[in-house]
């Protein structure tokens, strides 16, 4: 299920605390490597996460653990429905989180 995120002022709004909590829960993965990378992302960006970035992250969470890990480790690049600015932005943030 993929929806094209519109670039609107609402897309740039920060997500609220409840939505952030739900998103964190949804991001729990079966592979420790994915969990570590995603947790590091949340530690750095949770306070500034926008609705658009949250939608991109939700799209990434629809992937299998192995496909997600390939994207996070730059073994693959987003293709098809994932070639969208919101997905690519959040993927870049996850890849570069210290």
Q: What is the CATH number of the domain that holds 68?
A: 1.10.150.250
> Does residue 7 form part of some domain?
no
d(CA 15, CA 82) in angstroms, rounded, equals: 21
Domains held by the chain: number: 1
Q: Which residues, in sequence order, are bridge partners of residue 79?
A: none
> Does residue 3 form part of some domain?
no
Query: Mean pLDDT, to the nearest integer, of 27-44?
Result: 94
> Does residue 56 form part of some domain?
yes
- For residue 25, pLDDT over 60 is answered with yes
What distances in angstroms separate CA 72 from CA 8, 10, 25, 40, one per listed residue?
A: 27, 27, 19, 12
> Does residue 4 form part of some domain?
no
> Does residue 86 form part of some domain?
yes
- For residue 91, pLDDT over 60 is answered with yes
> Does residue 9 form part of some domain?
no
Domain that holds residue 60: 15-96
4-8, 31-35, 38-42, 74-78: least confidently modelled range? 4-8
């Amino acid at each position: 299920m993929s929806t094209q995120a519109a670039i609107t002022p609402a897309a740039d709004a920060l997500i609220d605390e409840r939505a952030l909590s739900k998103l964190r829960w949804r991001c729990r993965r079966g592979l420790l490597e994915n969990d570590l990378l995603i947790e590091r992302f949340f530690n750095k960006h949770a306070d500034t996460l926008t609705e658009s970035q949250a939608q991109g992250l939700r799209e990434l969470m629809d992937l299998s653990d192995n496909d997600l890990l390939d994207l996070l480790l730059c073994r693959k690049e987003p293709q098809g429905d994932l070639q969208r600015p919101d997905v690519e932005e959040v993927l870049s943030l996850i890849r570069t989180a210290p």
